[in-house]
Structure 1
Amino acid sequence: MGSSTSSSYTNLAALSNQTNTSAPTARRTINRPSPFTLHGNNSTSSIHEEASNLGSVHLDGKDDWANDFNDISHARSSSKLAPYGGFSKPSLEDGILSHSNIFETAPWSVASYRKGNGSLIKAVDQALRDGKIHKRKWVGTIAMPSDAVPQKVIDDITKTLHDDYDSEAVFPNDDIFQGHYKSFCKQILWPTLHYQIPDDPKSKAFEEHSWEQYKALNQLIADKLVETYKRENAGKDPNDPENIIWIHDYHLLLAPKMVREQLPDAKIGFFLHVSFPSSEVFRCFAQRKSLLEGMLGANCISFQTEEYVRHFLQTCSRLLLADTNELGLTYDKNFVMTSTIPIGIDAEKFGPVTRTEDVTDWRQMIRERWGDQKLIVSRDKLDKLRGIKQKLLAYERFLLSNPEYIDNTVLIQICIGTSHDPDYESELLGIVSRINSLPENISISQPVVFLQQDIDFDQYVALQCEADVFVVSSMREGLNLTCHEFVIATSEKKSPLMISEFAGSSQILDCRGQGALLLNPWSLKAFAETFKQSLTMSKEEKERRWKNMYDMILTHDSNTWIASCLKDINQAWAREEARHNGKMIRFTEEIFQQFYRKNQANRLFFLNLETATVIGGQDPNTVVAAMKSVTNAAAVAGKSASFSEPSTISKLLEGLLSDTSNRVYLVSVLRRSDLDRFYGGIPRLGLVAENGGYIKIVDSKQWLTLTDENEVGAWMPQVRSLIQSKVERLPGSFMEVEDCTVSFRPGKAFMEDRERSIDMMGDCIQHVNDLFQESDGVHAFISKNVVIVQQNLLSLRALEFLVQFHNHTQKGVSPADIIDQFKAKLAISPGTLSPVQSTSSMMQALEAEEVKSLFVIGGTTQIDEPCFEYANSLAGDGYEVQTVTSFGAEANLKSSARYCVGGKNEVLVMLSKVGKEL
């Protein structure tokens, strides 16, 4: 996709992987390299698969050329060949029948190809025709083996696809293609992503070579993407909303990271068309970490349903210790947005298809054939995941329970493709035979019409139009667009839709219980009852449910999908760009002096020197342990040059505190009693305990809390119990309970068994965040290799309160109003709160003031980033703002802060010169 300029392109990548299993020496066609990959059982497949205007490459006009060639080239081994004959000179035979010679002269042409990810093809092409996007370029593989094709032919095909079809072809060798697609994708990834963990001892898919081939093909695609992007988009505006690389589906899970490594500033999106399983299932992958990290190379990852997003975030939290929120996740200092954007159909274009002359003729023939009988229609790939067996058993149960329907109901089951499980196919035929033996009147139609072949598209649309019920019984499916088409097709009859709750479309078409009828394929009794509910539904209810589904399909159409995906990719990239290290300026003494001298009004300093500390070694408890044991401070300082005793910090801040225009707050993870012991005697120093849970205003002797201690008392016992169970299972770890915070510290276990510690911390984060949703305000996250559980965004809330509190002279705002707004109360002792009185020392210490300069320093944790973002947002309101992050030796730092330093001591030295040199 490109910008409004004619030479800007977006590269969309995915794997085309339609193979011809009947041709042992060559795949029959060269599929146009594109993201369309309607492989055998793509979850987003649509019945309305029109031939794309960008086609395939055929090497011969005959359909069976591959088999013919195979027979000819192996003629000498054929028993049908006469004992005398053939070529008298073997060299002549080799010359004529060699693969290179055959393919050197074989004619080929680009032709329309009906297979591939049809939903994606049509959505992108329609957006291009409608002007929603301006240019696009496909990058992917072709569906023919390249080993037998001479390089000259490959070059010719590549040039034609590039010049005439805006396509860039990748030619993996046959072993890589087969290992990638046949072995790893279809035997490992596909079943596991659909909760069917493979366990075939005869399968070679689990051998290491299939993973290596999966990586190799992903690398080939990534390299071609990078090559194309550099050629087509070099010098283009990175802010162009169509300057995007968009990668699709599970065949290319590693490609986003591979592209990111070569194009660190590129705008990359990834869309997973199939389902994403729970973390318990995904962790079965031997390569689980590599697969997740590969996906996280994208700026934005989109899924079909909220359930898949939730599973993905939980999996990343558990396996990678990524910090998650409602927008996405942060991993390895990078923010990745996640979104739910179900792909749809073009309802306006599909509607007229149902009214064509051919469809109308077929509808008439269907009515003549089945008369007044009720038609139940279903169309599935012939595999276990589609729930065909459960559908037939439920239908049988329905007929046995309601024998009056045996003679006037017909289930038309269309099975496309071939089954690779003859036992399963035989079992289905047995059930069909049993059902068809139920009627006593042999003159009527059988209750089941079981078609083991696909039918003409017009016939199928006619069946949809005439169906009294349409059934989708998938055991697990990313999305199912055939049922979307059914809703459009049944606009006259407004027939009900029965859909498995495990199909992604069910979450769209349920319409809060007033749309499709949801079913559980494993509950045969309820399934059978749903058949009867559908067939006996009143006309009024049919119309109401159909209207709800129809409106939802119009809302979630293909044009909306394209626009929403591109919008989210752009937003995610813009957010990440704002945090990129290259945009930050090295913080210097000169910059600080300019800030300090520019505005002589009151200044607010918000200093989190703990998250800004660079910890030596791997022990995540160094700083806190040192802070809580001042007598050992010198020894700890030897391990970490950036650690400073409270007395040292007090001395360094002396000049800053002596200036009455400054309001200085020290932010800490420690509890109130510890901060009072360390810093309570320092005049004019405000304190923030437990990352924002408690605040001691400058010159006040009382603590203020922004937390609701009743809420804390409600969630803390559950969290303590959960973390204690983790501590018991991880020797060397321990739990710390503060007034409004619970911490899970791996302690010595992190040094002795790092992998188990990480697994246990990830498990802890997932359990807490599952137990308390974002709406509950409780969040578990990792900071400096410690799991912290507390109410969400406390540090940000504390900063917002202090900014407003110290600007109470604004028109119409009083300190009491601000306290009421934040529901702040005096924290007299743990568990004891009281309202803030006007006679309190806090209120008496307050003077008429207006803070217009804000200085925020922190580290690179999730505690600091929201504070940086908020502070920067005030710059547009007349504030002079400086946000500084301390990154130490961390590489590839990304932060919302505007400035960076190598460690907190650099900043402390600058602050210590206030009153001396400024």
Structure 2
Amino acid sequence: MISKSYANLLDLANGNFPAMEEPRRKVFPRTMTVAGVLSEIDDDQARSVSSDALSAVTADRLIVVANQLPLKATRVTDEKTGELLWDFKWDESSLYWHIKDGLPDEMEVIYVGSLKAEIDPSEQDDVSQMLLEKFKCVPAFLPPSILDKYYHGFCKQYLWPLFHYRLPFSGGNGGRFDRGLWEAYVSANKIFAQKVIEVINPDDDYVWIHDYHLMVLPTFLRRHFNRLRMGFFLHSPFPSSEIYRTVPVREEILKALLNADLVGFHTFDYARHFLSCCSRMLGLEYQSKRGYIGLEYYGRTIGVKIMPSGIHMGQMESVLKDSCKQSKVRELEQEYAGKMVLLGVDDMDTFKGVNLKVLAMEQMLKSHRSLLGHAVLVQILNPARGKGRDVAEIEAEIRSSSERINQELGTPGYMPIVLIDKPLSLSEKAAYYTISEAAIVTAIRDGMNLTPYEYVVCRQGISGSDASNSPQKSMLVVSEFVGCSPSLSGAIRVNPWDVDASAEAMYEAISISDFEKQMRHEKHYKYVSTHDVAYWARSFFQDLERTCVDHFRSRCWGIGLSFGFRVVALDPMFRKLTSDVIMDAYERAQNRAILLDYDGTVMPQSSIDKRPSAEVISIINRLCSDPKNTVFVVSGRGKEDLAKWFAPCERLGIAAEHGYFMRWLADEDWQTHAQNASFGWMHMAEPVMRLYTESTDGSSIERKESALVWHFQDADTAFGSAQAKEMLDHLESVLANEPVVVKSGQYIIEVKPQGVTKGSVAQKIFESMFRKERRADFVLCVGDDRSDEDMFVMIGDSIKADVIVNNKSVFACTVGQKPSRAEYYLDDTVEVINMLENLGDLSGSEDSDS
């Protein structure tokens, strides 16, 4: 299928894209990112990209972005000219190349990434064009000055060890954070972003970013395309919050990841750590609904996906059919005849635990002397991906331990440990898998590790062959610290640091009954063969589609600078309340209802002195003096404070404690929500709250006349939230037969009488005006938090009940751009006061005219 982005990718390769690019970009405008300034998408433009159809119907491209392209590059000599040329072919061992197997057949896949080979700058344009034409690959060429600091510096020396739980306690123990390396990391991510922007059509394309090398890339793409459908998958572990919080740029990375729509991890543990970091450092709480985990972030729901990747079954079976491999199997069977082979296949890496595996093998042979001369550990060491003193030290330890063990326990013709440190092809590795009794993985920390999967498939044999149809057997000893461990329920799980336990697990793996080995193998093969790389890719992409289904139905704003940039997604009808609109309606109205929250609406939340200023008192008095107006302050605060603060406003109505106490004028008595209400429930609720307060440092109890509130904003975020959930259940159980409601809010748990809401206050005001034949034909209701949403809902209900005139003079307004049941917003308390002042001026001029 021809891409909707470009009729032919050759046009892009030849540089013939500007004429086609600009019309597409006009459909999807860029957003300014000046601090404090919101650049709103034009209504007509917003409608032009909206769609009620599922994205899979219109989209036909996926852009896969990874640190390296799934290509192999070699230098070849042109037979005719003798000139050195670059020759490229697909790297079939790359996980990214197999992503396409899980996508719809008609979907086009474009790859963006760097090359493993170093391309001379004079050749880069020609190579780029050739890769785009032949492979649909877009290479990102990083300058050497950036490449070394980005990859070998920030990625490998800092992020990689830290994400594997190793902190740089000293200068020689891993790399410490270096601002210059971080800047190189950011610069490299910008280069990748530029390459994506060159080929992207934001209307139809999906972007799938991979791994820790590109964690800030989502921010750079989101700055350009607010509604871009974008996923990110982390292939390494994500550390616990106690480790991650040591990163000086911790919030920058988290916020960048939250600019993606779906963030994926191999295991629940990794996802749980990410969610814990979002909670502790950004104050975000996740929700689980119908099996899906989501984080609410400025009106957007960021999905969290948990799905271990798999292997490519077709590739593995192709390897097994390889005639070269078949002869290698016979060679190995002869070489290890009469031996029980335990196999390890690991990168030369500090986290693979090969040194611990060697020691466990020694312990097993010493504990079970009968295995001497029979059990052999064959350890294949893949070339190291990183470099440094730590890798060299681990390699030296492995070699010295192996030599010592072979000298102590070996005999002529028998070496307990065989190290293979030369590069092996997948066919050669498959031969070792085939002849091994057990595969041993003792990594101390690993993102996924597909070695056990490959081993199980090779032990099964080629589908349809006589060997595969007969019962097969295999055994796995797997570290509990690797990502594949949870999915291999039949494996013997070990703590690799416990060498004795690992030794016993290895002995069990080779001494267990054949029937048990067959049962475990059958269970593992069923899982591995059905949860392959295509299943993983398909599952992730389907969740990405589901997460992004409402992208074009929301209005979006891009706000913030640098890594503080984020997109605010709001209802299409949500708009800013302008003076022109409201003042015109105000002048025409005869019966006005004005309902104002206090904290966060006319009083800034950050203010220490909570008393209203003289300016606010003056404005409210001007509004109250207009006989057409019914003005109320509706607050959660106590009636004593509100009555004292607004004593100069004699005609102001006040609803205190969310409406439990209410009075219409300053000289009237307070009305209560329910006469002769019993508060015996407080004697039941307060001891429960006191119990949690004593065990939760930083928490406190606020006692109101009608309610009890437990505050935990000063407590440890995670512990406070956990205690709040526990308290909520505890209070609901204790107060099940009492006429109260138990509600959770932002860092609070509140117990109050049933039916006490700001919505009930609004209802009483509207109905009272209706009974007095002063049906409200103008309503202004302003609030900033969750409790004010009840008033916004009641306004809609009153319109349906015909208690309020159904016209365009109803203004439910929230403070700040955030998801709300209100149709309007003002940015802050300053704008609220300015608007009220303008309305007060109008009332003053009406009095003068009369």
Q: Fold match, TM over 0.5?
A: yes
Shift of 1:713: 5.8
The 8 Å contact of residues 323 and 331 in structure 1, kept in 2 or not, is answered as no
Query: Does 1:487 find its partner at 2:412?
Result: no
The 8 Å contact of residues 724 and 735 in structure 1, kept in 2 or not, is answered as no
Distance 1:865 1:387, change over 3 A: farther
Shift of 1:857: 6.9
The 8 Å contact of residues 472 and 521 in structure 2, kept in 1 or not, is answered as no
Equivalent residue for 2:63? Answer: 11
Matches of residues 278-427 of structure 1 in structure 2 within 5 Å?
278-326=240-288, 327-331=293-297, 335-347=301-313, 350-351=316-317, 353-418=319-384, 420=388, 421-427=391-397
Query: Does 1:534 find its partner at 2:509?
Result: yes
Query: Does 1:192 find its partner at 2:192?
Result: no
The 8 Å contact of residues 901 and 907 in structure 1, kept in 2 or not, is answered as no
Matches of residues 272-283 of structure 1 in structure 2 within 5 Å?
272-283=234-245
Equivalent residue for 1:497? Answer: 476
Query: Does 1:142 find its partner at 2:115?
Result: yes
Equivalent residue for 2:825? Answer: 900
Amino acid at match of 1:183: G
Shift of 1:260: 1.2
Equivalent residue for 1:429? Answer: 399
CA distance, structure 1, for counterparts of residue 307 and residue 799 of structure 2: 34
For 1:502-550, what per-residue CA distance to the aligned partner results, in whole angstroms no more than 9, with x for missing partners?
111112223xxxx222111111222122122222323443344334333
CA distance, structure 2, for counterparts of residue 774 and residue 698 of structure 1: 31
Distance 1:216 1:341, change over 3 A: same
The 8 Å contact of residues 170 and 221 in structure 1, kept in 2 or not, is answered as yes
CA distance, structure 2, for counterparts of residue 255 and residue 873 of structure 1: 45
Equivalent residue for 2:41? Answer: none
Equivalent residue for 2:129? Answer: 159
Matches of residues 454-603 of structure 1 in structure 2 within 5 Å?
454-491=423-460, 492-510=471-489, 515-574=490-549, 578=554, 580=556, 583=572, 584-586=574-576
Equivalent residue for 2:183? Answer: 212
Matches of residues 629-644 of structure 1 in structure 2 within 5 Å?
632-634=611-613, 637=616
Shift of 1:579: 6.4
CA distance, structure 2, for counterparts of residue 158 and residue 697 of structure 1: 77
Show structure 1 runs of 5+ residues with no match: 17-33, 37-54, 63-103, 596-604, 627-631, 658-665, 691-695, 726-733, 746-760, 780-785, 807-854
The 8 Å contact of residues 334 and 894 in structure 1, kept in 2 or not, is answered as no
CA distance, structure 2, for counterparts of residue 295 and residue 289 of structure 1: 10
Number of equivalent positions? 698
Distance 1:524 1:710, change over 3 A: farther
Shift of 1:107: 2.8
State the identity as a percent.
23
Shift of 1:272: 1.1
CA distance, structure 2, for counterparts of residue 519 and residue 671 of structure 1: 59
Equivalent residue for 1:43? Answer: none
- State TM-score, norm by structure 1: 0.64
Query: Does 1:182 find its partner at 2:172?
Result: no
Amino acid at match of 1:767: F
The 8 Å contact of residues 145 and 174 in structure 1, kept in 2 or not, is answered as no
Matches of residues 685-704 of structure 1 in structure 2 within 5 Å?
688=658, 700-701=674-675
Matches of residues 515-914 of structure 1 in structure 2 within 5 Å?
515-574=490-549, 578=554, 580=556, 583=572, 584-586=574-576, 609=597, 613=601, 615-616=603-604, 620=606, 626=610, 632-634=611-613, 637=616, 669-670=636-637, 688=658, 700-701=674-675, 717-719=691-693, 721-724=695-698, 741-744=709-712, 764-769=716-721, 788-790=746-748, 884-888=812-816, 898-901=823-826
Distance 1:480 1:905, change over 3 A: same
Query: Does 1:228 find its partner at 2:207?
Result: no
CA distance, structure 1, for counterparts of residue 626 and residue 730 of structure 2: 37
> What is the SS of the residue equivalent to 1:201?
coil
Amino acid at match of 1:225: V
> What is the SS of the residue equivalent to 2:548?
helix
Shift of 1:349: 5.3
Amino acid at match of 1:168: V
Shift of 1:141: 2.2
Amino acid at match of 2:825: C
CA distance, structure 1, for counterparts of residue 405 and residue 709 of structure 2: 62
Equivalent residue for 1:754? Answer: none
The 8 Å contact of residues 139 and 167 in structure 1, kept in 2 or not, is answered as yes
CA distance, structure 2, for counterparts of residue 127 and residue 539 of structure 1: 36
The 8 Å contact of residues 652 and 909 in structure 1, kept in 2 or not, is answered as no
Q: CA RMSD in A?
A: 5.3
For 1:689-745, what per-residue CA distance to the aligned partner results, in whole angstroms no more than 9, with x for missing partners?
89xxxxx9996447799x9997986576335543438xxxxxxxx875775543256
The 8 Å contact of residues 498 and 516 in structure 1, kept in 2 or not, is answered as yes
Equivalent residue for 2:52? Answer: none
Shift of 1:348: 5.6
> What is the SS of the residue equivalent to 2:696?
helix
Shift of 1:401: 1.4
Show structure 2 runs of 5+ residues with no match: 8-59, 461-470, 558-569, 586-592, 661-669, 732-743, 764-778, 801-805
The 8 Å contact of residues 580 and 895 in structure 1, kept in 2 or not, is answered as no
> What is the SS of the residue equivalent to 1:385?
coil
